[in-house]
Chain A
Amino acid sequence: MRIGAAKQTYAADEALFDTTVQRAWLVGLFALLAVFPFVAGPYWIYMACLVAINIASATGLNILTGYTGLVSLGQAAFMGVGAYTVAWLEINLGTPFLLNLVAGGLTASLAGLVVGVPSLRVKGLYLAIATIAASVILHFVFSHWTSVTGGVSGLTMPPASIFGIVLDQPRTLYWLIVPVTVLMVFGAANLFRTRIGRAFIAIRDRDISAEVLGIRLLRYKLLSFALSSFYAGVAGGLWAYFFRVITPESFPLVMSIFFLAAIIVGGMGSILGAVLGAAFMTMVPEALKLAVGWLSPWLPDAVALLSPVRTIVFGALIVLFLIFEPQGLAEVWRRIRRFFHLWPFKT
């Protein structure tokens, strides 16, 4: 059981981590992240990188959908814009990778701005469909602007390198991907302690009321689109460095649905939710693979069932979370925490 915390300033009240225990946990988490690549096998490092990339992109989508209330099914396409930008720069100019990542993010946010323009007039589901249209059109650009994107066969790029160290292995790329993701997650968490973040939340809760309160709707909706696609662009850039081949089929519509599912399962409008959701949704197929493996002595052709079962579980997770746990994993987490905070009293 905790006793009250003495907060004397608003700043203290708004702090992301307000107790020493929380900070200690955070330090522990960082230590774990730093030690991880030295103890884990290549497969787990690979998975960790993939999870980190997905977290970055899901956090971006959460800004737009979870906090501003604008549903987007274009996140994967924006990732594609970032990935193509990064690949193009790396191949043709060979600029440093951090610069490329930022450029990828900026290009993606430009694309996001354009897609966001109708968002003032077009609302709710019509907007969601408009973002599908955007991703179809971007997909067409990817596969037909051959001189830049390499057409259907895509681009193959050299690995990132810094000070002569070539980052071509999950083990080394980990040190690029994870820190960037951590930075972006903290950036997003801090965003919602500022005027901009609060404006987003006001728009989500009721956009007309927000306008009455003096929030410029168009400006903030566009800003939200731009920020969200910046995150997607950087995540796409990391994806590009990770796989080093980008084809138009790398960023399909189901990937956008995946990110939307991740923030639903994790908890919309919660930073922790996007992190948990992206990690969970990335790991579930792997867990299924393992489960199918355990079943195989009794079920000889279990492996043939894997793909359909994966599709079913993906859908079922969305449905079950929406019906039974609409606040997502973040809420489960809060419940667990509350249990320990209030212990030994009954929650």
Chain B
Amino acid sequence: MDWLFLAEVSLAGIGSGGLYALTGLAFVLIYKATRVVNLAIGEILMLGGYVFFGFAAGMALPHWLAALLTLAVAGLFGAAVERTLIRPMLGESPISVFMLTIGLGSVLVGTVELIWGANPLMLPDYMPTTPLFLGEAYVSAKVATAFAVAAVVVAGFLLLFRFWRGGVALRATAGDQAAAYSMGINVPRVFSLAWVIACVTAAGSGMLVGAIGGISPTMGVFGLSVLVVVIVGGLDSVLGALVAGLFIGLLEALAGAYLGGEFKMLATFTLLVAVLLVRPYGLFGTHEIERL
């Protein structure tokens, strides 16, 4: 047993798990507030990467400005999607809305290909590249940076949910829409807010993912892993997304290192099936009791 190798692989896995957790959070946010399963999350992440590329490489803006503008664009995008596509679908079956987001994802992929082409691109280097050593174990500087950013953002979110008025409104709406209405909370506004925050978060993780592996119209498959994360964690559990995110990242890394790259997807999806069989609502999800 090569302990150093195990340590390095685990660190790499937890590093990418941080990004899963962050994107999973965006997913859970929308689901909690609006009960919409947003399968376009991977594509929104991709859009974030490309918009950043457009600002930073295409228009040659400074990186911090490009990042801020990307987040702003993503926010506007979230608001627009919520108003034009999701709002008319309120009250429809969750399956219809779920398909709607698949359609949206396809439109996004096509649009990105139309503007930037189908070939993979590299984001300009904005992250440190000097390698990092924890003890003797090597950690990729980019992955470490991405993990740190993800951790800070997630911590920020947890604080916002706890103490910010908007965060409290979000939690109230998630808990009981009718009650939230009667307490004077503007529920449609909360829906918009959830989409805006989620899209900003997804675009942010898109910039991080893109910095590590480059951007391409197919990078939306990242969303597939995120899907596993949120289902394993439970669709409506923030804690679940965080724990499952790290865990899935670790699992993928270990499967990739000890079994081979082709086993990564198999391992995560097998875990998904196993979890669903034991706990159909995910590890931390709420078990809804159905009544006639």
CA distance A311 to B37 in the complex (A): 21
CA distance A175 to B265 in the complex (A): 40
Closest to B40 in A: A315
Residues of A within 8 A of B94 (CB): 124-125
Assess A311 versus B100: contact at CB under 8 Å? Given A140-B266, A319-B85, A323-B85.
Answer: no
Would you mind naming 21 contact pairs between A and B with Cβ atoms under 8 Å apart? A118-B273, A121-B277, A122-B280, A125-B95, A126-B276, A133-B228, A133-B270, A137-B269, A212-B292, A305-B114, A307-B113, A311-B106, A311-B113, A315-B107, A315-B109, A315-B110, A318-B100, A319-B103, A322-B92, A322-B103, A323-B89
Q: Which residues of A contact B (CB under 8 A)?
A: 65, 69, 71, 118, 121-126, 128-130, 132-134, 136-137, 140, 143-144, 206, 208-209, 212, 257, 260-261, 264, 305, 307-319, 322-323, 326
Interface size counted on chain B using CB atoms at 8 A: 44
Enumerate B260-292 residues with CB–CB distance to A below 8 Å.
Answer: 262, 265-266, 269-270, 272-273, 276-277, 280-282, 290, 292
CA distance A123 to B276 in the complex (A): 10
CA distance A122 to B281 in the complex (A): 8
- B270:A125 contact, CB within 8 angstroms: no
Residues of A within 8 A of B104 (CB): 315, 319
B248 interface residue, CB < 8 Å from A?
no
Interface string of B18-52 (1 = CB under 8 A from A): 00000000000000000001000000000000000
Residues of B within 8 A of A140 (CB): 262, 265-266
Q: What DSSP secondary structure best describes chain A's contact surface?
A: helix
- A317:B103 contact, CB within 8 angstroms: yes
Nearest chain A CB to B261 CB, angstrom units: 12
Our pick among B96, B107, B290 for the contact of A208 (Cβ within 8 Å) is B290
Closest to B31 in A: A125
- B111:A322 contact, CB within 8 angstroms: no
Our pick among B107, B272, B277 for the contact of A319 (Cβ within 8 Å) is B107
CA distance A188 to B265 in the complex (A): 35
Assess A322 versus B280: contact at CB under 8 Å? Given A140-B266, A308-B110, A314-B106.
Answer: no
B206 interface residue, CB < 8 Å from A?
no
Residues of B within 8 A of A212 (CB): 292
B158 interface residue, CB < 8 Å from A?
no
Residues of A within 8 A of B110 (CB): 308-315
Residues of A within 8 A of B135 (CB): none
Nearest chain B CB to A304 CB, angstrom units: 9
Closest to B106 in A: A315
Residues of B within 8 A of A133 (CB): 228, 269-270, 272-273, 276
Residues of B within 8 A of A316 (CB): 103, 107
Among B104, B114, B224, B282, the one with the most A-chain Cβ atoms within 10 Å of its Cβ is B114
Enumerate B25-84 residues with CB–CB distance to A below 8 Å.
Answer: 37
CA distance A16 to B2 in the complex (A): 69
Closest to A65 in B: B95
CA distance A134 to B265 in the complex (A): 11
B169 interface residue, CB < 8 Å from A?
no
Beyond the given A311-B110, A311-B113, A318-B102, please list 7 additional residue pairs across the A-B interface where CB-CB is below 8 A: A126-B281, A137-B270, A261-B99, A307-B113, A309-B114, A318-B99, A319-B100
- B103:A315 contact, CB within 8 angstroms: yes
Residues of B within 8 A of A206 (CB): 292
Our pick among A65, A125, A130, A309 for the contact of B272 (Cβ within 8 Å) is A130
Nearest chain B CB to A77 CB, angstrom units: 12
Among B99, B276, B292, the one with the most A-chain Cβ atoms within 10 Å of its Cβ is B99
Residues of B within 8 A of A69 (CB): 95
Among B105, B108, B110, B235, the one with the most A-chain Cβ atoms within 10 Å of its Cβ is B110
Our pick among A144, A209, A260, A309 for the contact of B292 (Cβ within 8 Å) is A209
